[in-house]
A and B are shown apart, each in its own frame.
Chain A
């Protein structure tokens, strides 16, 4: 079977499961509803694995054929004249890989959920919602898989919203608990903020590129670049950004919401209110990954300025959230903030152009973060719903499997690896590659040409960033630094070495003019500010620290709460997924995944933003028919060697410091905390983001909107009454003294008369106003038809109306002029 069909079926299986569970779930009952959902995603996972294996073993020719077939099988979904919206399964290495990753992790999360829900209450509002939980999980998997295979922005958006809905439903699973329903709403609303930007971006794409299809849009985007038409012909700028940049930023806003980037990161820690498997599903494998994969998909629609924006956002996010993670005491919150920080790394990687590395980090992160979350779920479940790591400790004797699988996760996120030996876990390679690219962008920029004699000449002729003119800015937006698609030979060298095995086989045979032009463009590219390199480096030391702290406090040392310790136990249904995911964490560190992503990067040939792969020296190479630039390193060297003394041993140092502080319990940590003054409190309050948002948006909205609503109520609804009262009061002021003197007994005074008259007037007014609201259908029909007729006549006779207005205006002017003439005449006469 063709792979796109297999994938389409694999997408639809969870939907079938959802339908079954939604319709008959309550009949299927407690354990079996879970089995249905788990079996469905398991089947999807088998299909995805089959596709993955087939894809890896296929050579370039076969892959191209498969991609063509997938494209040929497209279906017209809607046709409205301008452009038919066509749908097909987007088949490329990234899809295959993401698909496998999502189904695999989801399957084990489902499996874990079976055990987790055994011990957890599934009663919400008095009735069992067990089937509903698994129905939501199935729907979530369907939406996420749909998102992965979407070829068009419109479908991307549809599945995007579906994912958002599912996360809302799942976070708020215990909706009878106030904090859970609040957290669900928070997640939903914060995501809407991002989605507005996304929607605007999609609209701009459709408006200016005339298509929703990602590939087509990217091609047209590139064409418009070179021709300076469309988006780039527009001289619309806002704060110095062009429309194209705003489009990219708008699209990125969606990712900001889903991937919880600053300043929309506030929802993710609160989302811990959902059941722990949900936390794992949302925060590890799927939903947060959606944001990063979105950026990967729209990468070709980004301008360098938009890319810089992304880098800045990522950098801020990874820094502040890592700092907050240090002081968290809830085991799930620590993981939530570490997730935020790692997402920041990915977004930052996208921002600096480390497309491959960012996606590789996404893959590895999915595995080890799912592992960590499920491990925390096991701990929480075993400890009788205790989430505070200060009350744990010593659990390794009670839960050995959880302890050591968790430790593997900690090592992976800490970036465990041995520099120079190319040995390590996933996080080591992926994070370091992002940092290496950032290094190149910060200190080795602009790139020089590799192996060409006139390179220096071209580079020296390049305008320097400081002297860039408007023209140079335009040129800057045309920089094309492209990763180098692997040759089959290189791909054969899977597992071979940490550097990606792809760096020396550049075919350099493009015209010098093209190279020269690109060099000039690259030279005009902004250099990454140094702080945007150093902050991620520092955080690379912080990450191992807080993860080690979390692990040590939970599993090592002496038990700090006997009750919790006594209660601790493990359940095979819950630790089996941990073991599998630990295996996955180790497995995915090998380069089968990275090479696939690298292969997918081939489509970036016409990207307008900076794309770079791992690199020692920035250089330019021309490969194949697409002229490409690549940040590559010389033979025999790797980015990890380059950064060995900066981050190579970060994991050792970070973990060692954590061990030093926490090896004897919390006493030393308390003292350090006291010594640090107010800083820990700021961090515990999450740097007051929630407070700020509360004060700015909630209180602000209330204080702005409430008076307006109040005013409408007061002045328009109560207007007649208030006006009456006012007039009465004013008249009373005068008449009370002078007029309110009844001449004879029984005669009412003027005041009373006025008051009565006003009351009558008000009643008249009221009855007049309420008359259209008769509740009678015929009145409504007459009003509707009458309005339509009048509107029609107005439109038809707009010329006449305008002409009449003009006439009146002219007449009025003439009258005024005549007056002034008369006045002038009389004036002159007087003067005489």
Chain B
């Protein structure tokens, strides 16, 4: 069976769900960041796959969107790591459950 768009979409959906799962169950702040990266990768797979299989003449649009996603992911990772270091300085840990000062 030839590989079509749907194969990629299912893979992306799977990785996306795992990213959500990762964000939810990791108590390590960096684990949450890794989950976010998975989600972004899943989105990128979709973008590229759509760009390949159903590109209505606007050739590189999907690929360009992916470029910007990667770029923003990198920026987000840098900022997130900086925030985690501040968090670590305040709480002496990266366990996000310890940072619950906003609880109701």
A interface list, Cβ under 8 A from B: 770, 772-778, 781-782, 785
Contact = CB atoms under 8 A, between A and B. Distances in A.
Contacts of B99: 775-777
Contacts of A775: 99-104
A776 B102 CA distance: 8
A772 B102 CA distance: 11
Contacts of B23: 778, 781, 785
Contact of A773 (B27, B96, B104): B104
Interface in B65-104: 96-97, 99-104
B20 interface: yes
Contacts of A782: 24
B47 interface: no
Interface in B18-34: 20, 23-27, 32
Closest 8 CB pairs of A and B: A773-B104, A775-B103, A775-B100, A775-B102, A770-B104, A782-B24, A785-B20, A781-B23
A776 B20 contact: no
A776 B103 contact: yes
Contacts of A785: 20, 23-24
29 contacts: A772-B104, A773-B103, A773-B104, A774-B103, A774-B104, A775-B100, A775-B101, A775-B102, A775-B103, A775-B104, A776-B96, A776-B97, A776-B99, A776-B100, A776-B103, A777-B32, A777-B96, A778-B23, A778-B24, A778-B25, A778-B26, A778-B96, A781-B20, A781-B23, A781-B24, A782-B24, A785-B20, A785-B23, A785-B24
Contacts of A781: 20, 23-24, 32
Contacts of B104: 770, 772-775
A774 B24 contact: no
Nearest to B26: A778
A456 to B, nearest CB: 64
B13 to A, nearest CB: 11
A775 B97 CA distance: 8
A720 to B, nearest CB: 14
Contacts of A776: 96-97, 99-100, 103
A770 B97 CA distance: 16
Contacts of B25: 778
Majority SS at the chain A contact face: helix
A763 to B, nearest CB: 14
Contacts of B20: 781, 785
A777 B97 CA distance: 7
A674 to B, nearest CB: 66
A785 B22 CA distance: 12
Contacts of B103: 770, 773-776
Query: Which of B24, B96, B99, B102 has most chain A Cβ within 10 Å?
Result: B24
Given A774-B104, A775-B100, A776-B103, 11 more contacts: A770-B103, A772-B104, A773-B103, A774-B100, A774-B103, A776-B97, A778-B25, A778-B27, A778-B32, A778-B96, A782-B24
A777 B99 CA distance: 8
A777 B102 CA distance: 10
A782 B26 CA distance: 11
Interface of B: 20, 23-27, 32, 96-97, 99-104
A782 B27 CA distance: 13
A234 B27 CA distance: 59
A789 to B, nearest CB: 8
A793 to B, nearest CB: 13
A770 B25 CA distance: 21
B70 to A, nearest CB: 22
A775 B104 CA distance: 7
A491 to B, nearest CB: 51
Contacts of B26: 778
B83 to A, nearest CB: 11
A215 B71 CA distance: 42
A770 B100 CA distance: 13
Contacts of A770: 103-104
Nearest to B98: A776
B61 to A, nearest CB: 14
A770 B99 CA distance: 17
A774 B26 CA distance: 16
A770 B24 CA distance: 20
A777 B100 CA distance: 8
Contacts of B102: 775
A768 to B, nearest CB: 12
Nearest to A772: B104
Nearest to A781: B23
A575 B22 CA distance: 74
A590 B97 CA distance: 78
A782 B97 CA distance: 13
A772 B103 CA distance: 9
Query: Which of A772, A773, A775 has most chain B Cβ within 10 Å?
Result: A775
Contacts of A773: 103-104
Nearest to B103: A775
A772 B99 CA distance: 15
A781 B26 CA distance: 11
Contacts of A778: 23-27, 32, 96-97
Contacts of A772: 104
A747 to B, nearest CB: 38
A776 B32 CA distance: 12
Nearest to B100: A775
A770 B26 CA distance: 23
B11 to A, nearest CB: 18
A775 B25 CA distance: 16
A770 B23 CA distance: 22
A312 B100 CA distance: 61
B68 to A, nearest CB: 18
A776 B25 CA distance: 12
A54 to B, nearest CB: 44
A782 B23 CA distance: 8
A778 B25 CA distance: 7
A688 to B, nearest CB: 48
A770 B104 CA distance: 6
A785 B20 CA distance: 7
A445 to B, nearest CB: 58
Nearest to A785: B20
Contacts of A777: 32, 96, 99
A772 B104 CA distance: 8
A474 to B, nearest CB: 44
Contacts of B24: 778, 781-782, 785
A778 B33 CA distance: 12
A781 B97 CA distance: 12
Nearest to B39: A785
A15 B58 CA distance: 38
A440 B44 CA distance: 70
Nearest to B101: A775
Nearest to B31: A778
A645 B102 CA distance: 78
A782 B103 CA distance: 16
A183 to B, nearest CB: 39
Contacts of B100: 774-776
A697 to B, nearest CB: 35
A347 B99 CA distance: 61
A349 to B, nearest CB: 51
A647 B101 CA distance: 75
A770 B102 CA distance: 11
A794 to B, nearest CB: 18
A785 B35 CA distance: 13
A770 B103 CA distance: 8
A775 B23 CA distance: 16
A776 B96 CA distance: 7
Nearest to A788: B20
A777 B26 CA distance: 11
A791 B102 CA distance: 27
A204 B7 CA distance: 45
Nearest to B97: A776
A85 to B, nearest CB: 20
A683 B90 CA distance: 65
Query: Which of A775, A781, A785 has most chain B Cβ within 10 Å?
Result: A781
